[in-house]
Amino acid sequence: MITAAKHRTLRTMRERATLRGDAPRSAGQHYFIETEGLHSRLHFHNFYSTFWPQVEGSATAELRVYGADGRFAGSVERELVRFGSLFIEVGDLLAELGRNDTEGTIAMDVRPPAGLEAHLADLPAPEQVEFGSPFWMAYYDGEQNYMYVHAIDKLRGKIFGGDAVLRRVMGGHPPGGSTWRSWRLLDTEGITELQIVVVNHGTATGIATVGVYGADGAALWQRDLAFAPRELHRVVVPREALSTWSEHTEHARIGVDPLLTANGKPYVLLRYEDGPLSLHHG
């Protein structure tokens, strides 16, 4: 629990870090898959140029790869020129690291260009500054069916920038989430494939129940899962279960109890009849 005094101290530390040009940064974290005919492609850009177009230097993106078991697998860096953007095939990135993972996560921290520090003192609330780096992932199959998803949570428990004390304070144990139900209603008629990917973005072990629930809140299907730090699980709902749902309810929704981090919503892979696969958040 953060007391009022600790909160004031933290604000002061963040303000000093920002004013000296070393504002704290958090890394966006995204799921990737390279199996069952699916591939993943990173899309990201130099967002600093959008807000400070007068700064001409390049930013640097560090891409940190984690296996499905949550273990750190390595990192690479890429230069992002002013107003620049990059597309990177995850398969190529894994090959560069000598890895053959079929799924996992990628976290990205983007270090600001040289010269940006001169402009940070102009920000209206330097004690609240924290740069983030959410990014897009394209998921696609061999038939060029593309699905685009934006990173929704970040690499919890790790802060970049600032000094060691600020990183330790801000990167402490991340708060867990609560019982979550998707706002997206799924038609139960005709579902032939449903997979749910739950990611532990945090640094602690956890247990969660993932399930599918009818319009009345009753469970249609559930599974209990145990997670190591940063581990993920992709669960496949049995087809025989899918075929019975329309007999009980017209609509259903995905749920997780609890989310392992405050915004760690799941990814959902969904197919109707013999149509194309879709992939979305929550």
User: Which tens digit of pLDDT belongs to each residue from 122-140?
Assistant: 888 888 989 999 899 999 9
Portions of the chain given CATH number 2.60.40: 180-281
Question: For residue 260, what pLDDT is reported?
Answer: 95
**Backbone conformation region of residue 104, classed left if phi is above 0, alpha if psi is from -120 to 50, else beta:** left
Is the per-residue pLDDT at 158 higher than 90? Answer: yes
Confidence at 8, pLDDT banded by 50, 70, 90: confident
Buried b (16+ CB within 10 A) or exposed e, 45-75: bbbbbeebeebeebbebbbbbbbbebeebee
206-249 confidence digits (pLDDT tens): 999 999 999 889 999 999 999 999 999 999 999 999 999 999 89
Beta sheet of 28-33, edge-to-edge order: 72-80, 59-67, 103-111, 28-33, 153-154
Question: For residue 1, what pLDDT is reported?
Answer: 53
DSSP-derived 3-state class of residue 146 = strand
CB 232 within 8 A of CB 197: yes
End-to-end CA separation in angstroms for the chain: 29
Question: Percent of the chain scored above 70 by pLDDT?
Answer: 99
Structure tokens of 226? Answer: 């145990």
Domain 4-170: CATH superfamily is: TM1070-like (2.60.290.11)
Please give the Cα distance from 165 to 230 (Å, whole number).
23
Pairing assessment for the beta strands 28-33 and 103-111 based on DSSP bridges: antiparallel
CATH of 180-281, one of 2.30.30, 2.60.40, 1.10.10, 1.20.120: 2.60.40
Cα 29-182-248 angle, rounded to 5 deg: 140
Structure tokens of 197? Answer: 């990917």
In DSSP notation, 165-216 reads: HHHHHHTSSPPP---EE-SPPEE-TTEEEEEEEEE--SSS-EEEEEEEEETT
Confidence at 172, pLDDT banded by 50, 70, 90: confident
Is the per-residue pLDDT at 173 higher than 80? Answer: no
Structure tokens of 15? Answer: 């303000």
86-108 confidence digits (pLDDT tens): 999 999 999 999 999 999 999 99
- The pTM of the full predicted model, rounded to 2 decimals, is 0.94
Regarding predicted confidence, which is higher, 163 or 275?
275
Q: What is the mean pLDDT of residues 145-155?
A: 93
Give which of 23, 41, 16, 17 is closest to 31, Cα–Cα.
Answer: 41
Q: Where are the beta strands (DSSP E) in 16-93?
A: 28-33, 39-45, 59-67, 72-80, 85-89
Question: For residue 74, what pLDDT is reported?
Answer: 98
Q: Average pLDDT, whole number, for the chain? A: 93
Portions of the chain given CATH number 2.60.290.11: 4-170
Confidence at 169, pLDDT banded by 50, 70, 90: confident
